[in-house]
Structure 1
């Protein structure tokens, strides 16, 4: 393993830790504001946080280095922003305990949402079927383990699944699409263009979220202030820092390494939910988590 690959793996590990703990912030934020309001503000913060960095990197860019095609950056950032908006909205609504309770629906927990979202690492190689690729046996066995694990984690003895878990599961398909897009767009990017790509996708996601929030939610200054710490973590750390680290790291990371390390996000989510929110999984749920994590790892170790 060379130095660049090692650095990429370290950055991806930090990304997984930040994202995993962000599930706690997302859950706490729902006590004060609506899901689209929360996402709109945090992604706007993430985009704004990258503006000074973009300007600094632009000045330091070597005079003879030409950036990638502007159209590719703008269009790619727009597509990433759309996938991000759908995935993040489904995930955030799935975590919106007070809002879903008002409709008699059950929300997901931080720990469960982390593991269900992590299914995207199994879905990524399966999506290769649509690209005329042939996943290996590890992918199929991993998918079977992950599905079995999700059944134990989320489906009750009465064959019912909570509405929140279902939304988070659907969102996992869009997270998989987002990872594939990042893998398609990030090679060949220098640091400046990687940060620009991040800023564009955050801005697109923020605009779509705020438009949706204006149409469907009521936000108050008191509510936004109450959710302030969670929004700041979600905006500056989970969005501004982690997504940018992902794009920068995936320029040098081996695809299998990236997927495996990012799957640890679910472990950090479960630990954060336990330590900070007092969430406790049953023996059945813990078994499901173990099977899901095993499936995620196997699908990448034997793709």
Structure 2
């Protein structure tokens, strides 16, 4: 006897996905700290010190492993480090001539860009529910950006921010491409030092001067350096099993956590923030829905009803 097919939707978060949610919350909490530090330091200097500190900390943690550092790992770490530098550097440069809402709107384009790049370069077609989650997260980011973000042209600031969006998407794609092929610790060291080093080296090119000593930039840079080490290491580890597209949906929650921290510090918590946050969280939940169907039952050939009945199992598609 054939049993009817039934679709059962389950939402399940793996340890790697929970880890990405945790570092996204940590990431979002850094917005307020960076905003305060920028009153005492230039962007490239601050980003450079932050990631060099993160890189040196990772050297202390993984120095034994560095003896086996290969050219392939140097290449992978350098490629990721370049995208880190470009993502942070170009976005910061763009903010010098456009407002934060416009920057947030343009930066949100990395969310739909990642699944497209994953499809083209990694030959991985995301599951349908993951794409729905991407759409919800993208709309949520646009709501968070606000109506003022729609009023922009195509000036230098917009172009720089658009390029930073490509770099951000590239970082996520590269981590996904290399995650299973390299040592996480060694590549983390390389990418952090490359990202920080390039930021410092670009200071003379942009004319940015070294700021006067201040605890207001030193303590945040060191603290965020420690946070960046944890964040990048977790991303490299978690994206061994979490696809770039699904990771992107989780990363989209960064401004939500930033808004929560800002509200705790006295910033207004508007309806737009609540709606946008709800859409992003919904995107994460929807991307985790996995339809399950019982396996087909073979026709009875006379050997007994139990001989050929296949138990229903989870049909979880791996991205």
Tell me if both proteins adopt one fold, taking TM over 0.5 as the criterion: yes
Distance 2:267 2:93 in 1: 19
1:204 maps to 194
Q: CA deviation at 1:48?
A: 0.9
2:282 maps to 294
Q: CA deviation at 1:142?
A: 4.1
2:85 maps to 85
8 Å Cα contact 1:260-1:297 kept in structure 2: no
User: Within the alignment, does 1:173 sit opposite 2:181 as a pair?
Assistant: no
1:40 maps to 48
Distance 1:250 1:140 in 2: 18
Distance 2:40 2:274 in 1: 30
Select which of 264, 283, 291 maps to 2:271.
Answer: 283
- Alignment deviations for residues 159-186 of structure 1 (CA, whole Å, 9 cap, x no partner): 4159989866653432221111111112
Select which of 145, 152, 155 maps to 2:143.
Answer: 152
Distance 1:242 1:158 in 2: 28
Distance 1:262 1:288, change over 3 A: closer
Q: Secondary structure at the match of 2:274?
A: helix
1:106 maps to 99
Distance 1:8 1:135 in 2: 18
Distance 2:159 2:34 in 1: 17
2:63 maps to 55
User: Within the alignment, does 1:182 sit opposite 2:150 as a pair?
Assistant: no
Distance 1:196 1:293 in 2: 33
In our comparison, the structure showing a higher alpha carbon Rg is 2
Deviates more, 1:292-301 or 1:72-81: 292-301
Distance 2:46 2:282 in 1: 32
User: Within the alignment, does 1:218 sit opposite 2:226 as a pair?
Assistant: no
8 Å Cα contact 2:111-2:137 kept in structure 1: no
Q: Secondary structure at the match of 1:219?
A: coil
Q: Secondary structure at the match of 1:177?
A: helix
Select which of 19, 24, 35 maps to 1:16.
Answer: 24
Q: Secondary structure at the match of 1:279?
A: coil
Distance 2:255 2:187 in 1: 25
Unaligned runs of 5+ in 1: 60-66
- Give the alignment's Cα RMSD to 1 decimal: 3.6
User: Within the alignment, does 1:231 sit opposite 2:221 as a pair?
Assistant: yes
Q: Secondary structure at the match of 1:178?
A: helix
Distance 1:88 1:301, change over 3 A: farther
User: Within the alignment, does 1:249 sit opposite 2:238 as a pair?
Assistant: yes
8 Å Cα contact 2:62-2:185 kept in structure 1: yes
8 Å Cα contact 2:117-2:173 kept in structure 1: no
Distance 1:135 1:257, change over 3 A: closer
8 Å Cα contact 1:126-1:139 kept in structure 2: no
Distance 1:233 1:166, change over 3 A: farther
Unaligned runs of 5+ in 2: 1-12, 291-318
Distance 1:178 1:158 in 2: 25
